[in-house]
Amino acid sequence: MGRLSELFRPETVGVVGATDRDGAVGRAILENLRAGFSGEVVPINPTREEVLGLECYPDVTSAPSIDLAVVVVPPPAVLETVREIGEAGTEHVVVITAGFSETGSEGAERERELREIAVEYDLNVVGPNSLGVMSTGVGMNATFGPENAREGSISFMSQSGAFITAVLDWANEQGIGFRDVVSLGNKTVLDETDFVRTWGDDPKTDVIIGYLEGIDDGDEFIAAAREVTDETPIVLVKSGRTDAGAQAASSHTGAIAGSERAYEAGLEQAGVIRADSVQQLFDYARALSGLPEPDADGVAVVTNAGGPGVLTTDAVGDSTLGMAEFTDRTIDALAEAMPEEANVYNPIDAIGDADVERFGEAIEIALADPNVGSAVVVSAPTAVLEYDQLAETVIEKRQAHDKPVVTCLMGGDRARAAEESLREFGVPNYFDPSRAIAGLDALARYRDVRERTIDDPAAFDVNRERARTILERATRRDDNRLGVESMDLLEAYGIPTPDGDIVDDPSRARDVAESIDGDVVLKIVSPDISHKSDIGGVRVGVADEDVYDAYEDVVARARNYQPDATILGVQIQEMLDLEAATETIVGMNRDPQFGPLLLFGLGGIFVEILEDTSVRVAPIGEGEARDMVDEIRAAPLLRGARGRDPADVEAVVETIQRLSQLVTDFPAILELDVNPLVAGPEGVQAIDLRLTVDTDTL
């Protein structure tokens, strides 16, 4: 497969299906290409000898060699055309034509064949059902949209062509420029991961942004994005966040929506900054494309008005940033330079009669403070303040100090002109203080992404073969739901379980109980009975001499509750001291896009009523496992709040990692719950287990 970056930098572009027919897509693309493309444009159409003054070729074979083929032929002709393109040695293809998987089974079959041809000829295929691609560096607009992009450093992918059209129309008016733009279409061959990788390698792309309705391979995406975000920020709108939205997305793209919880965790783990709206997407992108990262979280606010200063301070309070605490030197310098009525603490209120010079002094002094990582200039329009000159001053100070500065020059017309010159020098101006601070916040969040270290998943010394045997043995029962009878699976991966055994007669039950110190717990073992306690299938604190009768009682109750239930036996388990322990839950659900999604929470009401859980896409290392424990709201309880004994958090962290290893080693495990995992002052014990296995995968 040719380097994907060449798709955006071709020397010759062929348009297969080019035409001069009014209103035709094949004409619109040709016109857009002719309008600015620095290379050669080759129309291809067997029914024309010339199109819009360009020599037209009957087919790809007879045309000059082309680097990128744009296909706009009718649906039934696409497959043959793409094959010809492959035969001719062209590596990059954009299929504009719609009528594939988005239209039903016939289209889906056609799309499957398109994928096969792409594999056979090793083709980079964008689409089908794509608006096209743009690359401003070579003046290429290979789309049928009404707008071309301005030159800039933002590369943009979208799963919706309309979204590109809408955004460009607005961005052009705002003077926001792009590097490459791609309409992903049905993502039959090339998807978001491919473009993230390509733009990550492109020195002229400062920010990667995108609108996505789904991610095809979450695992691969996380790996690629983690690498790319070391150098280039990624900001994404992933729609279908809400239940209603997910349903709409699935009906729009025909894709199976993964869970929002998995996207949330996966994108965070990937280092992606997520935006919830078009406005946020560009508010973040504008800051990330022109400003350096802050080296401190303290923000300085410089304003000529108290009210907007307070609003800005609120916005800082809402963000991950904080108000910079000025050094004495800064305060002295401000007191010297500002009038008496000014506020020289942060926010700096240079008061209503501040002119550009006074603003400049305040900005200069603030940016020189080592506690100031970034600054925002917020101004109300006054008779003494020239916004154009203020813009110049801001640009000058920003460059001199190499710290990020954003502005919120409030007002209408008079702010517009200043905004333009600010933009030219990479300083974004925002409509209101909360959006300005959101821009600075995106910079700080990206810095945190770059600075984070992600541990490699630990490779514990486990007994993988034994685990496989247990899974296979269990599934031989022809039931994919397993329970406590498979607790050995946890032991095989080094997760402690209480002493005991599963037995199928009362005498054996007594023998097991006698081998255990103290009283025991009896639990019915049946794949058909899930709420064991409710039906009397659990007996707690049973003395050895009572075990025989208790066995019979527990079995009788189970039989009575459900006569046809499969009863695998009764579990005789060591009785743990739960007084000083905390019940936790660790579990896993396999997401269609991201794979194994680990879950952690405290047991009982914390998970069921308060929904206080943390999730991560496996596999994870120690740091992420510890984050899972720390980020639940009830975490202080594990750490020993309110006079409790602290639980052995390290053992919990290790258990989460061992579970991560287990579910990564066995993709056949579809769901797994250790509930409860009891965390005592020393060590943990898995008390109960349920899992679902895909017996075909095993």
Which residues, 447 to 506, sit near a copy of itself by CB under 8 A?
none
* Site for a copy of itself, residues 153 to 182, rule: CB under 8 A: 158-163, 165-167, 169-174
249 or 628: whose CB is closer to a copy of itself? 249
19 sits near a copy of itself (criterion: CB under 8 A): no
Task: Pick one of 58, 307, 370, 518: the residue that binds a copy of itself (CB under 8 A).
Answer: 307
What would the x/- binding string for a copy of itself be over residues 372 to 391, using CB under 8 A?
--------xxxx--------
358 sits near a copy of itself (criterion: CB under 8 A): no
Measured from the CB of residue 333, what is the shortest distance to a copy of itself in angstroms? 19
667 sits near a copy of itself (criterion: CB under 8 A): no
| Nearest Cα residue to 270 out of 324, 330, 196 | 196
543 or 641: whose CB is closer to a copy of itself? 641
Query: How far is 179 from 199, CA to CA, in rounded Å?
Result: 9
261 sits near a copy of itself (criterion: CB under 8 A): no
| Nearest Cα residue to 6 out of 129, 138, 95, 128 | 138
* Site for a copy of itself, residues 105 to 134, rule: CB under 8 A: none
* Eight-class DSSP state of 462: -
Measured from the CB of residue 611, what is the shortest distance to a copy of itself in angstroms? 8
Measured from the CB of residue 492, what is the shortest distance to a copy of itself in angstroms? 32
Pick left, alpha or beta for residue 583 (phi over 0 → left; psi -120 to 50 → alpha; otherwise beta).
beta
* Site for a copy of itself, residues 538 to 597, rule: CB under 8 A: none
Task: Pick one of 96, 311, 656, 686: the residue that binds a copy of itself (CB under 8 A).
Answer: 311
Task: Pick one of 322, 536, 646, 681: the residue that binds a copy of itself (CB under 8 A).
Answer: 322
Measured from the CB of residue 250, what is the shortest distance to a copy of itself in angstroms? 9
248 sits near a copy of itself (criterion: CB under 8 A): yes
371 sits near a copy of itself (criterion: CB under 8 A): no
301, 321 in Cβ contact below 8 A? Answer: no
Distances (CA, A) of 50 to 20, 143, 549: 9, 21, 96
Give the angle subtended at the CA of 261 by the CAs of 221 and 197, to the nearest 5°: 10
253 sits near a copy of itself (criterion: CB under 8 A): yes
493, 467 in Cβ contact below 8 A? Answer: yes
* Eight-class DSSP state of 57: B
76 token code pair: 């039934």
Measured from the CB of residue 276, what is the shortest distance to a copy of itself in angstroms? 7
Task: Pick one of 315, 372, 375, 663: the residue that binds a copy of itself (CB under 8 A).
Answer: 315
- List residues bridging with 520 in a β-sheet: 542, 574
Measured from the CB of residue 664, what is the shortest distance to a copy of itself in angstroms? 31
* Site for a copy of itself, residues 22 to 51, rule: CB under 8 A: 23
Crossing angle of helices 278-290 and 433-451, rounded to 10°: 60
Pick left, alpha or beta for residue 240 (phi over 0 → left; psi -120 to 50 → alpha; otherwise beta).
left
Query: How far is 513 from 499, CA to CA, in rounded Å?
Result: 10
User: Which residue's entry shows tokens 């813009």?
Assistant: 391
Task: Pick one of 636, 667, 682, 697: the residue that binds a copy of itself (CB under 8 A).
Answer: 636
Q: Would you call 637 helix, strand, or coil by DSSP? A: helix
Using CB under 8 A as the binding criterion, the count of chain residues that bind a copy of itself stands at 90
171 or 288: whose CB is closer to a copy of itself? 171
User: Which residue's entry shows tokens 């659900």?
Assistant: 589
65 sits near a copy of itself (criterion: CB under 8 A): no
What would the x/- binding string for a copy of itself be over residues 215 to 244, using CB under 8 A?
----------------------x-xxxxxx
User: Which residue's entry shows tokens 């896993």?
Assistant: 588
Measured from the CB of residue 117, what is the shortest distance to a copy of itself in angstroms? 25
Task: Pick one of 345, 452, 556, 592: the residue that binds a copy of itself (CB under 8 A).
Answer: 345
* CB proximity list for 186: less than 8 A, separation 6 or greater: 100, 101, 102, 111, 127, 128, 129, 130, 253
**Whats the size of the chain, residue-wise?**
698
* Eight-class DSSP state of 665: H
Do β-strands 132-135 and 140-143 pair in parallel, antiparallel, or remain unpaired? antiparallel
* Site for a copy of itself, residues 264 to 283, rule: CB under 8 A: 276-279
